[in-house]
């Protein structure tokens, strides 16, 4: 059983900021699904001395070391050479890999230079991982207490190689024929620290399933991972833990796995056979843009008005001049009338509205981050929600449309 893993990315281009290290993100997610903890991500330039130091350091704190990059044909591709030196292993030519490389050049009608043969050289005694989408093969090798996996740098090569071959090798080394099942719970409207506080005892007592919190993109997720000889029993263990979690923080829960808060709302409205329209001042059409990305959007979305100015609010949308004069565009009263007007204009079951101050300056005497969201509901009731946000102009707009989804989902589920 692996106690922990470390991912070591090799390449000076990563340190120079020329490319993002998306491989580490992908591999961490894959390893989490296998129940393997990743405690460190390391990035090393194309330098054998520094890579050697990184390897020795990683061996002290992890028993699974995964390397990405540095398997190419050029002189600065030095990952396997450095590892071979550290492990005192020979490098040998893999004939199958060489044939694959030669075949690739023939198919593309390109002349194969001599240095490309370097990509077919592997660590002696390693399991060679086929590269179905490129040339350089990967390698997997277990030496004493440590397992080393070498993967190419390009994500289009690395990802299928790991899923098809690297994952299988790791599972073979776990030593037990357990089923590993994962499920992601998605939350909005609660911060990571508050969610962890609310379920702190469950996290502290976790054994099987494990509970891994993650915050990002203004949301919080919990990954539940269970292991058992029976897949059904693993799923039962996850369901049991999920029930305990949702009993405490269920009001913020909206979906699973690859769900987004927009896809969940869209599906709910479509299943309810409702139609939707919007009036967007603050958000400038962002909400309707997100909601029209789904197949079948024309059966749900009737239309939207982007109404930045009071003139458009009044003369196109139909907002009362008296409301604009008395309360201003950034007000509860205006948000309510905007939602009602959108619902009436497009003759929909639901109308939503957005008005507020995204910045950089104040508006109508209201500070940056002031947001009003109006919801004209199928029941005939119209509610307005005032929230105060912080952050950049774009961040405020992005969070506003997500808050609308969260609020509307709560209203629709409450009535169903």
| pTM over 0.85, yes/no | no
pLDDT tier at 176, thresholds 50, 70, 90: low
* Cα 213 to Cα 162: distance, rounded to the nearest angstrom: 24
- One domain, residues 57 and 187: no
pLDDT tier at 361, thresholds 50, 70, 90: confident
- One domain, residues 86 and 215: no
pLDDT the model gives residue 415: 60
**C-beta neighbour count of 160 within 10 angstroms:** 16
* Cα 343 to Cα 113: distance, rounded to the nearest angstrom: 67
pLDDT-wise least confident of 64-68, 147-151, 210-214: 210-214
Asked whether residue 178 carries a pLDDT value surpassing 70, the answer given is no
- One domain, residues 323 and 336: yes
Q: Buried b / exposed e across 381-405, counting CB within 10 Å, b at 16+?
A: ebebbebebeeeeeebbbbbbbbbb
* Cα 327 to Cα 165: distance, rounded to the nearest angstrom: 64
Domains in the chain: how many in total? 3
> Where does a domain end: 133, 149, 173?
173
**C-beta neighbour count of 45 within 10 angstroms:** 14
Asked whether residue 119 carries a pLDDT value surpassing 70, the answer given is yes
- One domain, residues 270 and 202: no
* Cα 267 to Cα 309: distance, rounded to the nearest angstrom: 32
Which tokens in the block code for residue 147?
């397992």
- One domain, residues 28 and 152: yes
- One domain, residues 145 and 190: no
- One domain, residues 123 and 270: no
- One domain, residues 99 and 218: no
pLDDT digits over 364-399, tens only? Answer: 789 999 999 999 999 999 999 999 999 899 999 999
3 state SS of 282: coil
Range of the domain at 350: 261-415
pLDDT the model gives residue 1: 63
> Where does a domain end: 155, 173, 191?
173
- One domain, residues 149 and 224: no
342, 353 contact by CB (below 8 A): yes
| Measured CA angle at 83 (ends 79, 85), to 5 deg | 120
Residue 199 belongs to domain with CATH number: 3.30.70.2860
- One domain, residues 106 and 252: no
Residue 367 belongs to domain with CATH number: 3.90.950.20
* Cα 340 to Cα 329: distance, rounded to the nearest angstrom: 15
Q: Are strands 121-123 and 91-93 parallel, antiparallel or unpaired?
A: antiparallel
- In the chain, % of residues over pLDDT 90: 72
Half-sphere CA count of 115, side-chain side, radius 13 A = 7
> Where does a domain end: 256, 271, 289?
256
């Amino acid at each position: 059983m692996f106690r922990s893993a470390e991912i070591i990315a090799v390449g000076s281009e990563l340190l120079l900021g020329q490319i993002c290290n998306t491989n580490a993100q992908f591999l961490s997610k894959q390893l989490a699904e296998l129940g393997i903890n990743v405690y460190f991500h390391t990035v090393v330039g194309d330098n054998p001395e520094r890579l050697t130091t990184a390897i020795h350091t990683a061996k002290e704190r992890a028993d699974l070391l995964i390397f990405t990059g540095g398997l190419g044909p050029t002189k600065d591709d030095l990952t396997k050479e450095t590892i071979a030196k550290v492990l005192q292993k020979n490098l040998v030519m893999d004939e199958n890999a060489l044939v694959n490389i030669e075949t690739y050049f023939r198919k593309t009608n390109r002349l194969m230079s001599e240095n490309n043969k370097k990509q077919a050289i592997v660590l002696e005694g390693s399991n060679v991982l086929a590269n179905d989408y490129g040339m350089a093969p990967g390698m997997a090798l277990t030496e004493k207490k440590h397992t080393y996996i070498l993967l190419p740098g390009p994500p289009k090569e690395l990802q299928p190689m790991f899923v098809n071959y690297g994952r299988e090798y790791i599972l073979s080394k776990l030593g037990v024929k357990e089923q590993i099942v994962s499920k992601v719970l998605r939350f909005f409207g609660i911060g990571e620290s508050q969610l962890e506080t609310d379920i702190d005892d469950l996290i502290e007592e976790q054994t099987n399933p494990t509970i891994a919190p993650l915050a990002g993109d203004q949301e919080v997720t919990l990954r539940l991972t269970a292991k058992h000889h029976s897949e059904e029993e693993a799923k039962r263990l996850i369901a049991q833990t999920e029930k305990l979690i949702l009993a405490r923080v269920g009001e913020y829960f909206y979906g699973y796995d690859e769900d987004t808060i927009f896809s969940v709302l869209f599906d709910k409205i479509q299943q309810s056979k409702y139609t939707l329209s919007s009036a967007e001042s603050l958000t400038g059409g962002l909400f309707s843009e997100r909601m029209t990305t789904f197949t079948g959007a024309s059966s749900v979305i009737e239309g939207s008005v982007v109404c930045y100015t009071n003139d458009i609010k009044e003369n196109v949308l139909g907002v009362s001049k008296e409301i604009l004069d008395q309360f201003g565009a950034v007000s509860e009263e205006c948000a309510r009338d905007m939602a009602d007007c959108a619902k009436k204009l497009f003759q929909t079951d639901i109308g939503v509205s957005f008005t507020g101050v995204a910045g950089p300056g104040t508006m109508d005497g209201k500070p940056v981050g002031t947001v009003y969201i109006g919801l004209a509901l199928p029941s005939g009731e119209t509610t307005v929600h005032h929230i105060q946000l912080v952050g950049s102009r774009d961040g405020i707009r992005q969070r506003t449309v997500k808050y609308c989804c969260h609020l509307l989902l709560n209203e629709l589920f409450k009535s169903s």
